[in-house]
Amino acid sequence: ANKHKPWIEAEYQGIVMENDNTVLLNPPLFALDKDTPLRYAGEICGFRIHGQGVPFEAVVLDKTTGEGLIRAKELMDCEAQKEHTFTIQAYDCGEGPDGANTKKSHKATVHVRVNDVNEFAPVFVEKAYRVAVSEGKLFERILRVEAIDGDCSPQYSQICYYEILTPNTPFVIDNDGNIKNTDKLEYRSEHLYRFTVTAYDCGKKRASEDTLVEIEVKPMCKPSWQGWTKRIEYTPGEGSMALFPSIHLET
């Protein structure tokens, strides 16, 4: 006779790696039955998962020990859903091969967390950044470049650092993407600086495409008098004469 219903833990915590289907459970999934060692009545024939659209299934690995396994029906996608919660129930094999008079355990809650895999590389918001600055100044910040990442976890979705790839440029970039000059820029020595920048997420995955930065140097406007000469020809006796009739200040 099948006197006892199976027993399982009240709650399980599970982890499944993204792009995988095996769920690691804590505690492991075991159903116990006090009718052991009776055949059928003391054996576990299955686990049933309850919940709408649950993408997991449970299978019995060993009828006698009641060991079970939860696995995903399809590969998990952390970006689509990070956590899943559902209930599970064990049932024994009843009183014979036809499964008559089977008994079910209580329903246990299962929480499964999908662990992220570093699938996505950083992508720059802009393919190129262009800005113009005046010569002769040291700037706190000339411009900021930005990359984003499509992974779901902070470790893999955050940008940890940026790097200027072009050597010997008078610029530096910080971990937030801010670019500033290390030397005062001079228009006469360089009108336009062009260099490439890359980004890395916190899993050290590099941007799929680097971005281009162009910084144009504008000359400083220095006010000066125009329309005058250092030498003037004047013949005595010619009377009054305008010294610089067309003089003007250009700024």
pLDDT at 99: 76
Q: In order of start, what are the domains of the chain with their CATH numbers? A: 11-115 (2.60.40.60), 123-218 (2.60.40.60)
pLDDT at 250: 62
- For the chain, how are helix, strand and coil distributed in percent, rounded to 5? 0, 40, 55
pLDDT at 224: 66
**Parallel, antiparallel, or unpaired: how do β-strands 44-50 and 211-218 relate?**
unpaired
pLDDT at 131: 97
**Rounded CA gap, 71 and 55, in Å?**
9
Alpha carbon 56 to its chain centroid, in Å, reads 26
Rg (CA), the chain: 38
DSSP string, 7-56: B--SEEEEEEETT--BPEEES--B-B-TTTTSTTTTSEEEEEEESTT--E
Residues of the chain with pLDDT under 70: 222-225, 227-228, 241, 244, 249-251
